[in-house]
Chains A and B, each alone.
Chain A
């Protein structure tokens, strides 16, 4: 039987990518890292109706893919230009912008073609929710999941009203640490509201939980008793501990992942310490799993490798 070929879309130096590659190879599969950040400066690629060629490999010959990192929804150059680099773009910056947009379009097109023709974790539709947190809140609520009330925007007075009614945390619209928020926090960020919106969500006192869903199963759940608010969760993962969760909750976790079309998901929950109820915060379409495997022996990389090899 020929070896299954799995493509892992992500960067070579990403610990999750490295672990998954090893796990797939240890099971007799073939794993190739498809590092889109190398295109087009280092790697050549072409898309046509019959082929998607990346670095000499026709990706349509692969059996399946795991999407760890993808081009994002934005196509602005985010490079920290040095002064010399900036000067070099004098009178050429819009050419550069157009190039960035074209490359962005190319990468997304490439992934979307693969998603239509191959087994991909997670499908493109699910990946889209990566940056649609607010939309996720609404979809979760519509589908009967308990979520903490939230507000997002740049209207100081609406935000002030929300904060006046409850304890809340401040979340970034895209990425960054979650912080406790109050009227003082809002006041200090008043001027920046004309530069970027913000998100406040009701604070639920209790344990923070990350649960991983793969296919029809909740494969592991961990408590993250950090709660030094203002520190990004990923900076305090050393405090994690593996926990058992109720069977009913496991079913709900699988249902939540399916709601977003996610085959694999890292779902964030908050357990209310007074009522014991679980609040759904977010379903992540490409969650970090390496820290969980390393610290609580969760075996997520292995399970993911098995799943990819079986289903592709």
Chain B
């Protein structure tokens, strides 16, 4: 029996689904939400151990890294200007402490990854948050990538955030993003009454996220059909997603039905970045031969793909993690 650590949020569908799949195979799975550090959970690192919430992580057999991003400092609620004014000191204190926490977590992950299989390694995960580099690195490895430019906003066809968290939005109005963003406030608002004294000292609150950025990544728009291929270990899963030209919803295709080069390119792209688990988005070039790699996501929201397309991802992923853990054990 092996024990798999799931590094992510305990309310994340992907993490919970994976936990069930691993346990259904007779193995142990433990969710490790590093964002609980240090306020809810205690941890110790020394030369021999990494103790998290009473467990020595070095005694576990394998880890799946779902999240290592910065904590959002605010909840998604709306409140008065007066309350906002009172939060200034609290935010400054939060931010200063959070730096130490982030660095501690980063140290923990890197030490862990040196000693126990972590899928994916934090170095690979970093690609998520450095999209311009991600595309340049793929190009450097010899893959065809969509034409792209990142910088202060200009006109473009398809735009995503330079970081990893933003949704892509079609945009072709040519308006300067920085001017457009000034004073802009977007998104739904939950009217939740808040009383400051009811909140724990470490909590700060959030406003809804906007969908705009001042620094943009502009990629060539997708004109051709695209494919989303899931890679687990060194192989592509049996089913992939086909997206017709210009559409965001698609349907399932079997691996055998994929055009020539799609599966092989997906596997090579994931391997080139060191990803043992990834969702690779590809499209066929206009010459009918070139395969363009649009993105290799080392931490995809696979539960959504399972629900939408009835793909089986968590099962083979659980199998792979157990196998990697067994080799270590």
Contact = CB atoms under 8 A, between A and B. Distances in A.
Contact of B103 (A138, A162, A173): A173
Contact of A153 (B44, B150, B207): B44
A38 interface: no
Interface stretch (B141-149, B259-267, B293-301): B141-149
Contacts of A95: 181, 184-186, 209-210, 212
Contact of B150 (A46, A81, A159, A195): A46
A137 B133 CA distance: 29
Interface stretch (A29-37, A105-113, A292-300): A105-113
Nearest to B139: A49
Contact of A49 (B43, B46, B147, B209): B147
A151 B44 contact: yes
Nearest to B109: A135
B214 A74 contact: no
B47 interface: yes
A94 B210 contact: yes
A134 B206 contact: no
A173 B104 contact: yes
A58 to B, nearest CB: 13
B195 interface: no
Contact of A105 (B91, B102, B164, B207): B164
B88 A86 contact: yes
B270 to A, nearest CB: 19
Given A132-B107, A150-B46, A154-B43, A74 B98 contact: yes
B121 to A, nearest CB: 12
Interface in A108-124: 108-110, 112-113, 116-117
A249 to B, nearest CB: 22
Given A73-B102, A77-B95, A94-B206, A105 B148 contact: no
A174 B100 contact: yes
Contact of B85 (A86, A104, A109, A151): A86
B224 interface: no
A228 interface: no
B162 A93 contact: no
* Max chain B Cβ within 10 angstroms of own Cβ: one of A110, A116, A138, A158: A138
Nearest to B52: A153
A137 B50 CA distance: 14
Contacts of B45: 134, 151-153
B326 to A, nearest CB: 24
Contacts of A75: 70, 163
A274 interface: no
Nearest to B166: A98
B324 to A, nearest CB: 21
Interface stretch (B20-28, B34-42, B247-255, B282-290): B34-42
B178 to A, nearest CB: 8
B215 A40 contact: yes
B51 to A, nearest CB: 7
B43 A135 contact: no
A76 B73 contact: yes
Interface string B155-193: 000000111111000000000001001011110000000
B46 A73 contact: no
B98 A98 contact: no
Given A94-B209, A112-B130, A151-B45, A132 B106 contact: yes
A74 B70 contact: yes
A163 B231 CA distance: 47
Given A113-B133, A116-B140, A131-B106, A152 B44 contact: yes
B136 interface: yes
B103 A155 contact: no
B163 A173 contact: no
B97 A196 contact: yes
B101 interface: yes
Interface string B58-84: 000000000000101110001001001
B52 to A, nearest CB: 9
Contact of A110 (B87, B88, B132, B181): B132
B145 to A, nearest CB: 7
A149 B46 contact: yes
B183 A92 contact: yes
Nearest to A48: B149
A44 B152 CA distance: 7
Contacts of A173: 100, 103-104, 107
A153 B37 CA distance: 9
Given A48-B148, A83-B85, A102-B163, A155 B99 contact: no
8 contacts: A95-B185, A99-B181, A106-B162, A106-B215, A112-B130, A112-B137, A132-B110, A150-B47
Given A152-B46, A158-B44, 17 more contacts: A53-B151, A75-B70, A86-B85, A87-B84, A87-B85, A94-B210, A98-B209, A99-B214, A102-B163, A102-B216, A103-B214, A105-B215, A110-B132, A112-B137, A138-B111, A153-B104, A197-B37
Interface of A: 40, 44-49, 53, 73-78, 80-81, 83, 86-87, 90-95, 97-99, 101-106, 108-110, 112-113, 116-117, 131-135, 137-139, 141-142, 149-156, 158-159, 162, 172-174, 193-197
Give 6 nearest A-B pairs by CB, closest first: A46-B151, A109-B133, A153-B44, A109-B132, A95-B210, A134-B107
